[in-house]
Amino acid sequence: MERLRTRIIRPFDPWRSPLCTCPPKLSLDPYTGCEHGCLYCYASSYIKDFYNCRPKRSLIEMVRRDLRRIPEDTLISMSNSSDPYPPMERRLRLTRRCLEEFAGRNLRILIVTKGDTILRDIDLLQELRAAVTVTITTLDDHIAGRLEPKAPRPMRRLEIIEELTAHGIPVGLRLDPIILGITDDSIEELLTEAERAGVVHVVSSTFKPRWDSWLRVSEAFPEESERLRHLYFDRGERRGRSWYLPREMRLKLMREVRDLCDRLGLTFATCREGFPKLHTAPSCDGSHLIPAGDLTLNSQAWSQPRFY
Ligand code: SF4
């Protein structure tokens, strides 16, 4: 991507990971940190005081300034280091105000969220070239409550998918991360329910702990920690600051998810696993779901998303 002199809508840079298969895109986080409190979150390893979510200062002024420099058709992802719909968004409306700034410009917007406040913004999303990916890691309410304590429960997230797709907004599922022994026993049911709710694409990955996320997960799930410790630290591999499960184990798991997606007619991709040959979609992150064409010229373009 051409070098852009922008301040807050910045090039997405996943630690320069050679395993990242994302298309070039810009990233915008209206908030620093996140309220959802997911134990496995990677962003806490590089954002100070991460679980103390706070709005970005002068956000809208900076967004306006940046948008003057961003070419048409640019892909902007919200958000990669926080959730754009934390509970405080209901009151602060920062994400909504960013979407209002995007309106009337021919940009491609990808929203990644667990938050149900997104339903408030359906009117704006319908006017944009937008797609949404909703993260669900398990259908087990009890596990989700321990793992993602302040995020909407899994059934609510299925309702988010249903509502968005009912309003013509394309939705993908982030089955991400899968944590062995904790979230991996309801995958088939989860995919079936997600497909029923309207999901057309799935991106999945295994848990790749950094030291702080490892401590949180192993303390919250002591019954699984010894087995996971052995898999990650004795048999697995280290890449940068993350630990990975043994390659053959990850490949088997991702293949199983891909096969389930095939059976359900869903496209599939992995996230930073190094298995691009398993992908059956033109993009991993779901950005291929974003409708083609300029909605500012043709208000019906979104009703016929073109994937291939
Ligand atoms: S919702 Fe996303 S950004 Fe927020 S804590 Fe959970 S994983 Fe991290």
Tens of pLDDT, residue by residue over 56-69, are 999 999 999 999 99
- For the CA of 81, the closest atom of ligand 1 is 3
> If pLDDT is split at 50, 70 and 90, which confidence band does 3 have?
confident
Q: What pLDDT does residue 302 have?
A: 35
- What number of residues does the chain have? 308
Distances (CA, A) of 22 to 14, 192, 203, 269, 281: 9, 26, 11, 10, 12
User: Is the pLDDT score of 308 beyond 80?
Assistant: no
φ, ψ of residue 78 in degrees (nearest 5): -125, 115
- For the CA of 37, the closest atom of ligand 1 is 5
Yes or no: domain 20-287 corresponds to CATH 3.90.1150.10: no
Residue pointed to by tokens 């259908």: 139
Q: What pLDDT does residue 283 have?
A: 96
Q: What is the pTM of this model?
A: 0.93
Residue pointed to by tokens 């960013």: 98
Residue 67 carries which side chain, given as an amino acid letter? L
Percent share of the chain, pLDDT over 90: 88
Cα pseudo-dihedral 275, 279, 285, 291, rounded to 10: 160
Q: Among 8-22, 42-56, 145-159, where is mean pLDDT lowest?
A: 8-22
Q: Ligand 1 pocket: which residues have CB below 6 Å?
A: 34, 36-38, 41, 43, 82-83, 114, 151
Residue 217 carries which side chain, given as an amino acid letter? V
Distance CA 43, CA 246 (A): 23
- For the CA of 113, the closest atom of ligand 1 is 1
Quote the ligand 1 centre to 81 CA distance (angstroms).
Answer: 7
At 98-133, the pLDDT tens digits run 999 999 999 999 999 999 999 999 999 999 999 999
For residue 53, give the 3-state DSSP assignment.
Answer: coil
Quote the ligand 1 centre to 100 CA distance (angstroms).
Answer: 24
Quote the ligand 1 centre to 85 CA distance (angstroms).
Answer: 10
| Burial bucket for residue 95 (CB in 10 Å: 0-12, 13-18, 19+) | buried
Q: Where are the domains of the chain?
A: 20-287
Q: What pLDDT does residue 293 have?
A: 77
Q: What pLDDT does residue 132 have?
A: 98
Mean pLDDT of 268-293: 96
Q: What pLDDT does residue 43 have?
A: 95
> If pLDDT is split at 50, 70 and 90, which confidence band does 29 have?
very high
User: Is the pLDDT score of 295 beyond 70?
Assistant: no
Quote the ligand 1 centre to 299 CA distance (angstroms).
Answer: 33
- In this structure, are residues 26 and 11 in contact, taking their beta carbons and an 8 Å threshold? yes
User: Is the pLDDT score of 299 beyond 50?
Assistant: no
Q: Are strands 267-270 and 54-55 parallel, antiparallel or unpaired?
A: unpaired
At 199-232, the pLDDT tens digits run 999 999 999 999 999 999 999 999 999 999 999 9
Q: What pLDDT does residue 305 have?
A: 34
- Among 27, 31, 34, 148, which is best to mutate for testing ligand 1, by the most ligand atoms less than 8 A from CB? 34
User: Is the pLDDT score of 151 beyond 80?
Assistant: yes
Asked, as a colleague might, if the bond just before 291 is cis with ω within 30 of 0, I would say no
Q: What pLDDT does residue 18 have?
A: 83
- Among 27, 29, 36, 50, which is best to mutate for testing ligand 1, by the most ligand atoms less than 8 A from CB? 36
Q: What pLDDT does residue 13 have?
A: 80
Residue nearest to atom 3 of ligand 1 (CA): 82
Q: Please state, rounded to an integer, the average pLDDT across all residues of the chain.
A: 93
φ, ψ of residue 22 in degrees (nearest 5): -60, 145
